[in-house]
Structure 1
């Protein structure tokens, strides 16, 4: 069998009728399948079983999406599509969950040496929809792909500081700005043919690493003794703010990946990615 184009000898993944190249591009091939099982490739080898898309409304899978299809390595095009994708999330399309605004139940940071625990509860987070795409990565270890996002977030919540030996915690209301949080997301994606004869991307478990480009800025309310005590502790240990920022950002990015996982299982590839052999 002769493939249309091969970038690297060991970097071509064949899944039924679709090829995924090392640079993340998809190439669609038409094979003769008469006399073969529905989930059997032309060379007689079994491929992944087709996805069951019978419960998906036809209008959800064939209606054009409100952004152009992009090559998987065209970052400028993907940036425009990402903006629309976040608005689709917030509108609940395809059952996706809104991420802006979003409530994070709690984040806890413990300092064993100081015998102190910080807890931030009922965190209201905004700004996720303006997340920027920095980079798309392909051909990573174990065949994984990756994406790098840059996010600015604004959050508010109830901050408590518990100190060993003190019966009551210190309490204050925290307002914090996270600027330049970099999310490095890696995942394993596979292509499967659905029962509607369309190609879908199935996203496996993701790994998310967060790096803050700067320590978040904050202020505490009201002007009380508790707020002063908490502020003094945060000034001595700015890593507490860094940890809170990482946990909040990671929680939102996991939600974003979950939404794209749902999106990619409901929307055929051809509605948001261009095939390699497509002009």
Structure 2
């Protein structure tokens, strides 16, 4: 039971090692210029293997719940499915339902654990295999694995590392559960945090924050939805930046040179390395500035009023 790319490595690993009686995923969504319904990455991967796929819009219908129970599954593996599993579904498989969660529980329960871990400046995160219960990511833990978060880690690279780690970890958990050798451990009551869904307003860069926070926000939202600033009527995404020495007294959001070094709060600065205009692909700063220079002392829209300032 899963929907996005994150769940595909686990699906393929489980399908290689076990008999998958059915794959559940979110219904196809309109996508592309023609807005034609597009199957989820999990549906595409399942169909490529000839696995049966179901995509109910909810699991509230008694008929859908009964159809799930009638599968006679030993266990359900869940990874970023996107639907809440009601109690009858949780209880239907002989060994219950297990979830591949992209954090080291109880830190970052909820919808956006990858992004929140980077934003918060965590040094590491990981994958937790947990037994599912009615609460939000509250079930007891079966296995964990850690992944470091470095100074250049983005949501994209961390997503891929966690997805790759989840695949062998779920196989280890299934083997232990089948053999009766794996014991679930209750989550600690200390250290609980919630990874709230990313709000669109959070993607607007606030140059008044210190460079370290600006950098983490950029990396946490790269490539989607993409942190951004405005220049005139144009919205420009920033996909990668590097903290650099700033200049005391510089107006936050002002460019300190003609190479997109931008002043941030507390006398710090970031150099914008990879940017994206609307409808265009990502480019490095040199390509971005080619033909459209942004001179020093320009104030970029975000945490300060746009315009120009007198260089300090």
Q: TM-score range by the shorter chain?
A: under 0.3
User: Relative to total residues, which structure has the larger strand share, 1 or 2?
Assistant: 1
TM-score using structure 1 length: 0.24
Greater relative contact order, per chain length (Cα 8 Å cut-off, separation 6+): 1
With structure 2 as the length reference, what TM-score do the two structures score? 0.22
